[in-house]
Structure 1
Amino acid sequence: MASSKTSEKVSIFDHYFPANNEESIELFEQAMLTIQHVVQTFFKEQSKPYSGANPNKLNEICNEVMQIPNIGMDLKKVIEKTGAKILENSIGVTHPTCLAHLHTPPLTASIVGEVIMNVMNASMDSWDQSAVATHIEEQMIQWLVQVYGFSQQADGIFTSGGTQSNFMGILLARDHFIFKKWHWNVKQKGLPPEANRMRILCSKEAHFTVSQSAALLGLGEDAVIAVDTDDNARMRPDLLRQKLETLKQDDYFPFVIVATAGTTDFGSIDPLFEIGELSESYNIWLHIDAAYGGAIQFSDQHKRILTGIEQADSLTIDFHKWFYQSISCGAFLVKNRLVFQSLHRNADYLNSLEDEQRGIPNLVGKSIQTTRRFDALKLLMSLQHVGLERFSQMIDYTIHLAKQTATYIDQDPSFDLIQYPTLSTVIFRYRSKLIQTMDLQTRSNEVHQHIRLGLLQSGEAVVAKTKVDGWVSLKFTLLNPRTEMRHIQHILHQIKQIGESFDQGRVS
């Protein structure tokens, strides 16, 4: 009898897809072994977080890579070229001295989860495109709402991240208020005439997506009322109350308060409990942006600073930040699942009424996306691998490292610490020795720009810059639990050297 390999008919396209025949499986195995070798080599040889290539050099490399032939290349060569040209010139987020943004090294389990997700290629908009994936996401959401203290009436959806989640929170708050206030269905009629008097309240340190959402939702950026913060960059409840009273007296309609649990620069946590009480007393929707700080809920040592998060009507969580998930991965949670009705649509080819009557679950009615990734899988696999105890230790370690770093900087006369950290970001400035030779702020901003670019071009470290009251400052975002104090000290030494060299150049 002929073997299955010789008797099986093979398509000319099987060379390009993993399929149920020996040739396809063998080609897939070879490709996976090649990419495994390329990635392992990258990690073994990664002595710095960046190659140091400037934009012009990267353009030259990309011009070389961007060659698309008529006749396809051997996949092994494609993978090796990608590793040599693209991977080698990427920002190495796994390296301990990559400290710029809320951009974390992905857990190994998350990377493995991505492989399985890509093999499945599930689309979360209908059950017949996802099957088991739909049920995993639903159960992960139910677990998350319990973690954050919501009732059984709560619900949610996985999202691409904080921008989408914040947009959805303000969108649902808008539609809920308009229907409650004027019995007006925005989904059917658009915005009512009175919408130009609707207002959003948030702190001056809130994420820019609050204003962006206001603009996209037809309310305009002028609808956003910024509330002053205290010395720790936290929204002041007393001033929030004053704003609410003034708006009420002036016949405006405040419809949502956006509190922040972890501002991008300072990691500040607004007083959630007090703000929650105000939102309840004024009967206003409370959205909490916990894209950064939401992970604190898993720390027994620090979760008390999120007291009040359970009062949110809607909540933003990002897993590709402090949960160490590969990009992108976030969630949007709501206290009452009925508010999703303003998003719900029926499409005969996706989630027909007949399917709903049969109890077939389709998640498309809870999202502003149609096609969505099965991101719940990699979070599930990561938490199963790491465990809640070890995950809590990662959170606690990075917070401790940030405080230790801030103390070290504060004791060094070469630096000025801007604010003691709440979470894991440390903002500081280098003290130029020539600071009095020219306009103070201009000089300071110039040297800090030079320091940041100098570190990047040397490949030694990737750090961020931001502005505090108009002053350019340096920022460490310490989310990598593999970063140690010796790495911090090395970077600070490099900063001093670059700063001093720049000072000497200005003198000569």
Structure 2
Amino acid sequence: MAVRKKWQQKLISLLPSFPYPWFKAQRSKIFLNQMNQSLTDLIRMKHRPTFEKSEIWRSYYGESLLPDYSNCKNAMLPNQTTPIAETLDEVIELFHGMPIWAHPQSMLNVLPSVNSAAVIAATLTNMASPNFVEGEVSWNIAKAELESIAMMADLLGWKPAKAGGVFTFGGTGCYLYALKLAITRIMGKETRYKGLHQKGVVIVSKVGHYAKKTCTDWLGLGMDQVIEIDVDEKNAMRIPHLEAVMRECNAANRPIIMIVATMGTTDAFAIDPIRDIRRLIDRYKPQQGRNKPFLYADAVIGWAWLVYKKYSFSKNPLGFSKEALYSIRQGYQALKYIGDADAIGIDFHKTGWCPYSSSLFVVKNNEEMIDLLARKKPAYIATHTAFNPFLYTLETSRSGAPAVAAWATLKHFGYEGFQVLLGRIIEVKLFFKKLLEHDTNLICINADNHGLPTLFRVYPSHLNAKKQYHAELNDPAHRDELYAYNKLQQLVANKLFAMLRVKEAQVPGWENPPFISLSAGYRPPYYALQETNYEYWVFALKSFPVSPFANELSMMVLRNYILKARDLVIAELLSEANKHSKIRTNQAKAWFGSCSAIPKKYLLGKQEMPAYVMKPKVSLLEKKALPPAEIDAAIQAMLVALPYFYHLTKLELERLLQYGRIKKLFPGRLLCKEGDPAKHAYLIIEGELQVYTKVAGQSREKILGRFGRGSFLGEMALFEKGTRSANIKAGKKSATVFVIDGRKLARFLNPEK
């Protein structure tokens, strides 16, 4: 028998690294076990839904680490094969600190949770590894792209039989396809061979996505050929200005290649009046017999509102609140004419709950696109099927995973699923808006916006936010204040980030703030609409409650973390007041921009003593008997130290105490049991509570967590109207608990109370 050569022996050891190509249960288990182990390891990096050490609010995998890329350049290819288990262990390590987009505290951007159907569909597709350049290497899996295009065409009001498109690399990829198609349509097919003999222009609003610069640059048109149109107070394109620009371009014989209608930006959810733009294009008579400008709808976010075209707003079958129903309807009315465009871009990884990146470029006239962009078929490639997009696409290799993920999502959710998910975001957003309205120091600055983000500003406690913001927006005499409080928004954003990600900056009891963002230039003030210095535009904190798990409680936590971060920032600033007339806060990292100086006069108001002091640690109850007034004061001190009650005034805290009672538990005494209706929330005054479950078929208990003085338990189930998921009892020693009536607590915390 011939002795195997070394390479043959090594090959045998490598074969288990590949999924087995035949069905054989035992061999297939190798891959299934590897996949299952890795998924299990990743899932275990999530944190438990327990209030012990506020684990429930940790919105990231594993440890909250800042990324350190400093040693990446030192990586080298190993000389020998690394066992797959070790390699996968290293893969799992990469996920430490990665935000969990499904977590209700992750509100950074339109980064929603990926749905299970999409994840599984994409994973299965990656196993089969189809190349969506032609049917020969994608077979039936290519139907996912064709059917997704048909479904979207129908949603847009187009004829699916005539529409076409391609899944591509994100919203910028869609923009690039649109511009290439527009150049060829307006400037002629010969430009594909001889290049552009005359520069044309792209017209887009001032708040249009920065892809306008990227694509004109990469296609050789030039970034200077972008003409930006003024916007109104809602960041919508001003039609009179657009009409004037079109007239000027025609008079100067400057071809208008493409007009971009922005249909829902991430930041301001700007929506251009696309029907008015279409009317202008239809009336336009370009020189030299050129085609009319190509109209592209950048609707990567806004497309999803079209699902409400099959919703009865009069009957409201899903039972949305009156305010949410109005907002949804307004959003739909503003977006329902997206189909007036020649082509649109859709991001399923945004308002489609799919993995990155899953973007679809859709055109109304597929025959025209193929005619304008087709290339001669390479001799070595056969066209055995009717699916051959490689003849006109930019990509010569295209993964099928994005298309299959989107297709599975569309099939799974249908109209109603999308209606529910979008409607829930609007409901939660409107709840947060009400929270802001009921706080003197906070203001929502995009209250009339019907999109996903909430933009808001926080002010020092001596200021009325509504009056101050109105003055900054309308009166040039308050220009310096606008600048100063812009910096305050920046400092608060930096503080929240440091509290979340920098161990040295963590605040006891406040270790897990929401992951939100900052808009450094939302809009110019009314008195300076042409302002070019963005430092004097309006800055704002912003949140995107796009997780399906976001709820009213998570928005209350967000509100109070904002107030806490503000107080910490100003306390730090004032602690340096004796050293500098202009003071800075010592941030671990200026994540959202440099921390410029803020004159202290903007922080204090008229009072002589600083309004902000670092709150001392809570003085808890001693074992000795205390007078009732002191007991109440101790409970209030514990409550205000929690993220849920930080915003309450002394009078409100006193009123809250009326909704509860003190309960003494002897060692081991049960407080509530698993399956009980969630009717109360609990504040531990003294002692320890244990949370546990019974092990099925056994008498022993599994301890899920131990909670000490100052801990607050049971509030999540109140807002979800659920039941207790575990038992709670006193520990080895007796415990004293403040029991709050859940129904009254929920009503008390409601901003419409």
TM-score, length-scaled by structure 1: 0.88
Q: Does the alignment pair 1:26 with 2:35?
A: no
Q: Does the alignment pair 1:329 with 2:341?
A: no
Q: What is the match of residue 5 of structure 1?
A: none
Matches within 5 A, 1:120-199: 120-151=128-159, 152-179=161-188, 185-192=190-197, 194-195=198-199, 198-199=200-201
Which whole-Å CA distance do the structure 2 matches of 1:89 and 1:74 have between them?
25
Which whole-Å CA distance do the structure 1 matches of 2:118 and 2:427 have between them?
25
What secondary structure, in the 3-state scheme, does the structure 1 residue paired with 2:351 have? coil
Post-superposition CA distance 1:66-116 (Å, at most 9, x none):
686433343334334433x32232121111111111211100111111210
Amino acid at match of 1:307: K
What secondary structure, in the 3-state scheme, does the structure 1 residue paired with 2:31 have? helix
Q: What is the match of residue 343 of structure 1?
A: 373
Which whole-Å CA distance do the structure 2 matches of 1:38 and 1:366 have between them?
42
Which whole-Å CA distance do the structure 2 matches of 1:350 and 1:482 have between them?
51
8 Å CA contact retained: 2:213, 2:226: yes
Matches within 5 A, 1:418-497: 418-420=445-447, 421-432=449-460, 440-459=481-500, 460-467=513-520, 468=522, 469=524, 470=534, 471-497=538-564
8 Å CA contact retained: 1:433, 1:503: no
Q: What is the match of residue 231 of structure 1?
A: 233
Higher relative contact order (CA 8 A, sep 6+): 1
**Higher mean Cα deviation, 330-339 or 68-77?**
68-77
Post-superposition CA distance 1:195-233 (Å, at most 9, x none):
2xx221111110011122122222212211111111111
What secondary structure, in the 3-state scheme, does the structure 1 residue paired with 2:85 have? helix
Count of matched residue pairs: 485
Matches within 5 A, 1:224-303: 224-282=226-284, 283-299=292-308, 300=311, 302=329, 303=332
Q: What is the match of residue 369 of structure 1?
A: 395
- The alpha carbon displacement at 1:260 in A equals 0.8
- The alpha carbon displacement at 1:485 in A equals 2.0
Which whole-Å CA distance do the structure 2 matches of 1:65 and 1:389 have between them?
51
Q: What is the match of residue 568 of structure 2?
A: 501
Q: What is the match of residue 221 of structure 2?
A: 219
Which whole-Å CA distance do the structure 1 matches of 2:253 and 2:434 have between them?
48
Q: What is the match of residue 45 of structure 2?
A: 42
Which whole-Å CA distance do the structure 2 matches of 1:59 and 1:27 have between them?
33
Which whole-Å CA distance do the structure 2 matches of 1:350 and 1:316 have between them?
32
8 Å CA contact retained: 1:351, 1:362: no
Amino acid at match of 1:388: Y
8 Å CA contact retained: 2:17, 2:84: no
- The alpha carbon displacement at 1:140 in A equals 2.0
8 Å CA contact retained: 2:65, 2:96: no
Q: 1:112 aligns with which of 101, 115, 120?
A: 120
- The alpha carbon displacement at 1:24 in A equals 4.5
- The alpha carbon displacement at 1:134 in A equals 2.1
- The alpha carbon displacement at 1:426 in A equals 1.1
Which whole-Å CA distance do the structure 2 matches of 1:228 and 1:238 have between them?
9
Specify every segment of 5 or more residues in structure 1 that has no aligned partner in the other structure, as ranges. 1-8
8 Å CA contact retained: 2:455, 2:542: yes
Post-superposition CA distance 1:279-303 (Å, at most 9, x none):
2222321110001111111123543
What secondary structure, in the 3-state scheme, does the structure 1 residue paired with 2:201 have? strand
Aligned-pair RMSD on alpha carbons?
A: 2.7
Amino acid at match of 2:426: I
- The alpha carbon displacement at 1:129 in A equals 1.4
Which whole-Å CA distance do the structure 2 matches of 1:91 and 1:64 have between them?
24
Amino acid at match of 1:208: Y
Which whole-Å CA distance do the structure 2 matches of 1:458 and 1:94 have between them?
21
Post-superposition CA distance 1:128-182 (Å, at most 9, x none):
2111122331222122212111123221111121100011111111110012xxx
Which whole-Å CA distance do the structure 1 matches of 2:403 and 2:379 have between them?
24
Who wins on radius of gyration, i.e. which is larger? 2
Q: What is the match of residue 6 of structure 1?
A: none
Q: 2:334 aligns with which of 305, 313, 326?
A: 305
Q: 1:387 aligns with which of 414, 428, 432?
A: 414
Distance 1:93 1:473, change over 3 A: same
**Higher mean Cα deviation, 392-401 or 448-457?**
448-457
- The alpha carbon displacement at 1:503 in A equals 0.7
Which whole-Å CA distance do the structure 1 matches of 2:572 and 2:13 have between them?
64
8 Å CA contact retained: 1:159, 1:330: yes
**Higher mean Cα deviation, 415-424 or 288-297?**
415-424
- The alpha carbon displacement at 1:238 in A equals 2.2
8 Å CA contact retained: 2:168, 2:174: yes
8 Å CA contact retained: 1:14, 1:24: no
Which whole-Å CA distance do the structure 1 matches of 2:295 and 2:79 have between them?
55
What secondary structure, in the 3-state scheme, does the structure 2 residue paired with 1:401 have? helix
- The alpha carbon displacement at 1:494 in A equals 0.8
Q: Does the alignment pair 1:78 with 2:78?
A: no
What secondary structure, in the 3-state scheme, does the structure 2 residue paired with 1:43 have? coil
- The alpha carbon displacement at 1:329 in A equals 0.2
**Higher mean Cα deviation, 200-209 or 147-156?**
147-156
- The alpha carbon displacement at 1:351 in A equals 4.7
Which whole-Å CA distance do the structure 2 matches of 1:350 and 1:297 have between them?
43
Distance 1:104 1:398, change over 3 A: same
Distance 1:191 1:67, change over 3 A: closer
Q: 1 or 2, which has the higher helix percentage?
A: 1
8 Å CA contact retained: 1:187, 1:342: no
Distance 1:385 1:220, change over 3 A: same
8 Å CA contact retained: 1:266, 1:422: no
Q: What is the match of residue 668 of structure 2?
A: none
Which whole-Å CA distance do the structure 2 matches of 1:225 and 1:383 have between them?
36
Which whole-Å CA distance do the structure 2 matches of 1:39 and 1:387 have between them?
30
Q: What is the match of residue 15 of structure 2?
A: 14
What secondary structure, in the 3-state scheme, does the structure 2 residue paired with 1:26 have? helix
Which whole-Å CA distance do the structure 1 matches of 2:88 and 2:365 have between them?
47
8 Å CA contact retained: 1:34, 1:79: no
Distance 1:107 1:249, change over 3 A: same
What secondary structure, in the 3-state scheme, does the structure 1 residue paired with 2:445 have? strand
Q: What is the match of residue 398 of structure 1?
A: 425
Which whole-Å CA distance do the structure 2 matches of 1:491 and 1:349 have between them?
60
What secondary structure, in the 3-state scheme, does the structure 1 residue paired with 2:113 have? coil
- The alpha carbon displacement at 1:119 in A equals 0.6
What secondary structure, in the 3-state scheme, does the structure 2 residue paired with 1:158 have? strand
- The alpha carbon displacement at 1:64 in A equals 13
TM-score, length-scaled by structure 2: 0.61
Which whole-Å CA distance do the structure 1 matches of 2:44 and 2:379 have between them?
46
8 Å CA contact retained: 1:343, 1:368: no
Which whole-Å CA distance do the structure 2 matches of 1:351 and 1:398 have between them?
47
Which whole-Å CA distance do the structure 2 matches of 1:227 and 1:350 have between them?
47
Specify every segment of 5 or more residues in structure 2 that has no aligned partner in the other structure, as ranges. 1-8, 49-54, 285-291, 312-327, 469-478, 501-512, 525-533, 576-753
